[in-house]
Amino acid sequence: MIRETELSVRDFIYPLFVCEGEQVKREVKSMPGVFQYSLDMLDSELCELESLGIAAVLLFGLPSHKDECGSQAYDENGIVQRAVRQIRADHPKLFVITDVCMCEYTSHGHCGKLTPSGDVDNDATLQWLAAEALSHAQAGANMVAPSDMMDGHVAAIRQALDQGGFSNVGIMSYSTKYASGFYGPFRDAADSAPAHGDRRSYQMDPANREEGVRMAEIDIAQGADMVMVKPALAYLDVLRDVRERLHFPTVAYNVSGEYSMVKAAAQNGWIDEKRVVLELLLSIKRAGACMIITYHAKEAARWLSEVDHG
Ligand code: PBG
């Protein structure tokens, strides 16, 4: 009766990795239970998500071809664009969010266009991101989620969407994204590790709490519909700050490394997986998340549906 926080399957957004080819259902080595799917293998996964009550997916693409300018990112026949069309046609009730970034599509693996000296050129990248977001909207995405951390990205994307006639397509901005070691397994999953250097020039310093709030504020001013704190577990204080100070829908990304740590410990029999996962997800919600992007979503949905008076 006095319980303050309730975790529900409706809180979850499930990340999905789609790849080129046929008959591919490939498990990500560092993320047991997470798979890359070719489009012909996607349907059973989507049916499972729907039957579990998971309402939203976040799509990441693995293109067959990468180049300096990440051209597959904004190609109308790119892997994500085709996946969106398929999902919207076959599962119209699923809410489709697409990750908007360049790192999966560039040959150098950085999140934007490089200058001749090898730095990321913030302003030149904005056009690519706007084109990518627009192509996702044209394919039918309900919401786009820019994860690139370029300054001005939300404004550029909002303008492109509005001009393209997609004022009803929302933006979930990865506003508060730290330069984190916890993304390691994701870079296997999405094949997006930078070939040289790291992302510290555009992602945030883990030491900064105030800046986390400021970053979310800036994205809200540019037209974001939701903001995000990422990773979740090591940044619950920032999540609480953003939610409490900005009064805005705040999403938490329970990232790959956080998932893999739990999986590894569980596989060794060192922790009770069900208990730990539900405790972590509840804690993310308690800290202020209104939604949680999590690779645990399917298992957590199953556990939550078990009637448990324990
Ligand atoms: C793309 C992107 C990353 C993640 C989501 N979008 C990787 C990165 O920024 O290096 C990480 C997600 C995860 O670790 O689960 N920029």
Atom of ligand 1 nearest to the CA of 183: 14
Atom of ligand 1 nearest to the CA of 193: 10
Between CA 63 and CA 79 the distance in angstroms is: 6
Q: What is the pLDDT of residue 309?
A: 43
186 lines ligand 1 (CB under 6 A): yes
Place of tokens 């970053």: 215
Which residue has its alpha carbon closest to ligand 1 atom 14? 183
Domain assignments of the chain as residue spans, ordered by start: 9-226
pLDDT digit string (tens) for 38-50? 999 999 999 999 9
CA of 177 relative to ligand 1 center, distance in Å: 9
Q: Is the CB of 260 under 6 A from ligand 1?
A: no
- Does domain 9-226 fall under CATH 3.30.70.380? My reply is no
147 lines ligand 1 (CB under 6 A): yes
Residue 310 predicted with pLDDT over 50: no
| Assigned token pair, 66 | 């990468």
Q: Report the atom number in ligand 1 closest to the C-alpha of 259.
A: 15
List, as one string, the DSSP characters of 13-57: EEEEEEESSSS-EEE-TTSTT-EEEEGGGHHHHHHHHHHHT--EE
Task: Please report the atom of ligand 1 found closest to the CA of residue 254.
Answer: 15
Q: What is the mean pLDDT of the chain?
A: 96
- Could you report the predicted ipTM of this complex, rounded to two decimals? 0.96
Centroid of ligand 1 to alpha carbon of 204 (angstroms): 13
Evaluate whether 216 touches 242 at the Cβ level (below 8 Å). Answer: yes
Q: Is the CB of 103 under 6 A from ligand 1?
A: yes
Per-residue pLDDT of 116-160, as tens digits, reads 998 999 999 999 999 999 999 999 999 999 999 999 999 999 999
Please indicate whether residue 230 is annotated as part of the active site. Answer: yes
Residue nearest to atom 8 of ligand 1 (CA): 183
pLDDT interval class at 308 (50, 70, 90): low
Partners of 27 in the β-ladder: 35
Q: Check: CB of residue 103 under 8 Å from CB of residue 110.
A: yes
Q: How far apart are CA 271 and CA 9, in angstroms?
A: 23
Query: What pLDDT does 307 receive?
Result: 64
Is the pLDDT score of 65 beyond 50? yes
Our answer to whether residue 177 is catalytic in this structure is: yes
- pLDDT tens, 186-235? 998 988 888 888 888 899 999 999 999 999 999 999 999 999 999 999 99
Name the percent of the chain lying above pLDDT 90.
92
Q: What is the mean pLDDT of residues 152-169?
A: 98
Buried/exposed 220-236: b ≥16 CB within 10 Å, e otherwise: bebbbbbbbbbbbbebb
What is the structure's pLDDT at 194? 85
